[in-house]
Structure 1
Amino acid sequence: MSSLLRRLPPLAALCLGGGAIITIIGFTAYALNYAALNMIGFFYGIPLLLGGVALKITELRPVPLTIPTTSEVEALKATQATDTQKQIFDDLTRYRYGQEAHLDSALKFLGLAPTDDDRPTIIGIREENIDGAYAMILEFDSPFITLEMWQKKIEKMTSFFGPNVRVDVTQPANERVDLSIIAVPAVTAPV
């Protein structure tokens, strides 16, 4: 179901397009004196068009995959990914409405966004095999939050994104931080 939703146009575009068409039909019907059709444009088209504009203003685009996921990593994801990892991936790779930034409330809770202006921004996501485990790497532009600050929050991030994950933080470039959420399969006791 989620892959089908990713292939559909964003909700804002659907509302804008549908609202524009219905509004044009309504105004054309009004000009041609078709009373039944002109009401459609006024009562349905204009509100739908305005709703589309409102959605477009609050639209948050999906985070791009920086490296295509391989079939090996897909297999690991199917068997090892935690519910939290799946939810984060789904949330980041679809259109969102009414949020200022991806994971804004999570970053605030973790103490990594003291203000909206200082909040790190997710610029990419990728999935990898790290030592035989499924890993989701969130790539942040983090000019105001230092690597040391990120590292101080590893324990809190591990419990926040857990259970059954470990968190690693690296800095591949200046003002850039990669947050790796790595699956740690639960060990079952022998029966």
Structure 2
Amino acid sequence: MLRQTSLGTLGLGVGGALTLIGFVAYFSSNATLNLVGFFYGIPLLLGGLALIASELKPVPYTQPTPPAIAELRDQQATTTQNQIRKDVTRYRYGQSAHLDSSLSHLGLSPTNEERPELIGIRETQIDAAYALILEFNSPLISLETWQQKQAKIEGFFGPGIRVQLTQPVERQIEVALITAPPAQPQATD
């Protein structure tokens, strides 16, 4: 629940209320409430404004996750898949875009203007395995460029993940992070 709450909005609301109480107390000569309003309200109000200015909103789920897929996630999802899902579905502060450092490391973000934008996620099942689908708006990075980076993407998000890239519509790329079973050691005779 706290992950879905904007700390900036919370700071702005509480700070604004305390500041208002402080001003009312100042004009009614109530020194105690006046101090609370000025010493706590104004800093909270300014902190809330600063957080809102640097706020990155959560990425929405484009489809609700069915209970069967949630159960499959609990059984199969890797630590990386869970971390990505949790990170992009909560408010972030001080970042310019979701997964910006990952895209930069993978060579898929030459500049801020060219960087693909994560616009949604969904969870599904592909070949009896849990899959986390990252939906990117990618007008300046082509599917061919993404495909050239596929091995690097798998290495970056792995182990235990295979990547499937698709382009459902023009300018949109879907990156499916699919749980891969661990490699079984070969028995020797």
- Per the normalisation by structure 2, the TM-score is 0.95
Quick one: which amino acid aligns to residue 136 of structure 2?
F
Offset at 1:188? 5.5
Q: Deviations over 1:110-160 (max 9, x none)?
A: 000000011000111000100100000000000000000000111111011
Quick one: which amino acid aligns to residue 135 of structure 1?
A
Counterpart in 2 of 1:24? 20
Give the distance between the partners of 2:76 and 2:133, measured in 1 at CA: 15
Give the distance between the partners of 1:135 and 1:158, measured in 2 at CA: 13
Offset at 1:185? 2.4
Counterpart in 1 of 2:2? 5
1:186 paired residue among 172, 177, 182 = 182
Aligned positions, number: 187
Aligned identity (percent) is: 54
Give the match's secondary structure for 1:114. coil
RMSD value over aligned CA atoms? 1.5
1:106 paired residue among 102, 105, 110 = 102
Offset at 1:5? 2.5
Give the match's secondary structure for 1:30. helix
1:169 paired residue among 157, 165, 170 = 165
**Stretches of structure 1 lacking an aligned partner (at least 5 in a row):** none
Give the distance between the partners of 2:129 and 2:171, measured in 1 at CA: 27
Give the distance between the partners of 2:24 and 2:56, measured in 1 at CA: 34
**Stretches of structure 2 lacking an aligned partner (at least 5 in a row):** none
Quick one: which amino acid aligns to residue 5 of structure 1?
L
Give the match's secondary structure for 1:157. helix
Indicate whether 1:46 and 2:42 are aligned.
yes
- Per the normalisation by structure 1, the TM-score is 0.94
Give the match's secondary structure for 1:172. coil
Superposed, 1:22-171 pairs within 5 Å as: 22-171=18-167
Q: Deviations over 1:58-113 (max 9, x none)?
A: 11111010011111111110011000000000001111111100000000000000
Q: Deviations over 1:16-59 (max 9, x none)?
A: 00000100111111000111211111111001000000101111
Give the distance between the partners of 2:2 and 2:179, measured in 1 at CA: 26
Quick one: which amino acid aligns to residue 127 of structure 1?
E
Greater displacement, 81-90 / 67-76: 67-76
Give the distance between the partners of 2:153 and 2:19, measured in 1 at CA: 49
